[in-house]
Amino acid sequence: SWASRGEAGAAVSGKLEPEAEPWSLQQPVDGGHSSSLLPPLFKVLWGRRGGAPGLQPDSRALHYMKKLYKTYTTKEGIPKSTRSHLYNTVRLFTASSLHKHSAGGQVTGAFPPADLLFDLGRVAAVEHLLKSVLLYAVDTAAALTSAAACACSLVLTGPGTPSQAPPGAALSAPCSSQLALGKNPRWLEIDVTPLLQPLLAASQRSVQVSVNVTCPRAPGQPLPGLPLRVPPSLILYLNDTSAQAPRGRWSFPSKSSAQARAPDSAGQQPAAGGRARQPRR
């Protein structure tokens, strides 16, 4: 049962009430204060110290990330060993500000041309970008079909106007779309990796995205389908190269096999078929 001795013990001990402070477990014994000693998970929690929960993410974005979590992990939250991707970190950002351009009577714009500002300050230097997408939530299958026929153009720049940005920071390209995870809501992804890569490589942590989506007018319809009314999120698929991040593939042994298998003489790696190779006495 879930109420094992461990959980029950933690619950009745009272030591964790009212709130456990993981940073207190990491303090140097001399009383010094050094958050640099904290592993990444505790650094995340360190940033919350004594504070309110703070901003809450968009519910659709949270839904998407929960779905992604279920796809990537086992029931116990362990990364699936059968995964094919190389990234060990995925970050989803919502636009911190939005400035809509005047539509100007443009009837083909599915989503009014907008400048989206993404603050990517949470991306650490050890997190290397492998892929990035703009993610639109689409409510209905019909809208998704309509959205799939849309074309879009993108401009990604660093902070400031394109004229103030360093040469080469402003990029534009036609975007291709693909359907992605989930059924309700459905998702439309636009790959922006080639545009974002040079900005992140140049340590730009604030990125302005100008996106213009145009959709074909359906026959007999006075206006084109408008499937993309909500501003998109920006998702970064990253490879964290720090020591705390797992490397390569691994397998999670069952409890019984964990006891039965013996490491090799160095005690580092389990001996393949270890017991079978031991001489019997």
Partner 1 sequence: GRESPGRTAQRPRGAAPPSLGAYLSRLLSPHGECQLHDFRLSFRQLRWDRWIVAPQRYNPRFCQGACPRAVRHRYGSPLHTLVQNIICEKLDASVPRPSCVPAAYAPLSVLTIEPDASIAYKEYDNMIATRCTCR
Tell me the closest approach of the beta carbon of residue 122 to partner 1, in angstroms.
5
Tell me the closest approach of the beta carbon of residue 64 to partner 1, in angstroms.
8
Tell me the closest approach of the beta carbon of residue 137 to partner 1, in angstroms.
14
132: exposed, middle or buried (Cβ count in 10 Å: 0-12, 13-18, 19+): buried
Q: Which is nearer to partner 1, 246 or 273 (CB)?
A: 246
Tell me the closest approach of the beta carbon of residue 7 to partner 1, in angstroms.
5
Tell me the closest approach of the beta carbon of residue 244 to partner 1, in angstroms.
6
Q: Which is nearer to partner 1, 77 or 220 (CB)?
A: 77
Q: What single DSSP character describes residue 102?
A: P
Q: Which is nearer to partner 1, 105 or 243 (CB)?
A: 243
127: exposed, middle or buried (Cβ count in 10 Å: 0-12, 13-18, 19+): buried
Q: Which is nearer to partner 1, 72 or 214 (CB)?
A: 72
Look at residues 60, 227, 234, 238 and name the one whose alpha carbon lies nearest to residue 133.
234
CB count within 10 Å of CB 272 equals 9
- Measured between alpha carbons, how far is 44 from 40 in angstroms, rounded to an integer? 6
Q: Which is nearer to partner 1, 119 or 139 (CB)?
A: 119
Tell me the closest approach of the beta carbon of residue 132 to partner 1, in angstroms.
13
Q: Which is nearer to partner 1, 103 or 252 (CB)?
A: 252
3-state secondary structure string across 176-208: CEEECCCCCCEEEEEECHHHHHHHHHCCCCEEE
Those residues with Cβ within 8 angstroms of residue 200's Cβ, 6 or more apart along the chain or in another chain: 120, 123, 129
Q: Which is nearer to partner 1, 45 or 226 (CB)?
A: 45
- Measured between alpha carbons, how far is 2 from 8 in angstroms, rounded to an integer? 9
Cα–Cα separations (whole angstroms), residue 57 to 63, 93, 121 = 10, 9, 16
Tell me the closest approach of the beta carbon of residue 55 to partner 1, in angstroms.
3
C-beta of residue 131 within 8 angstroms of C-beta of residue 90: no
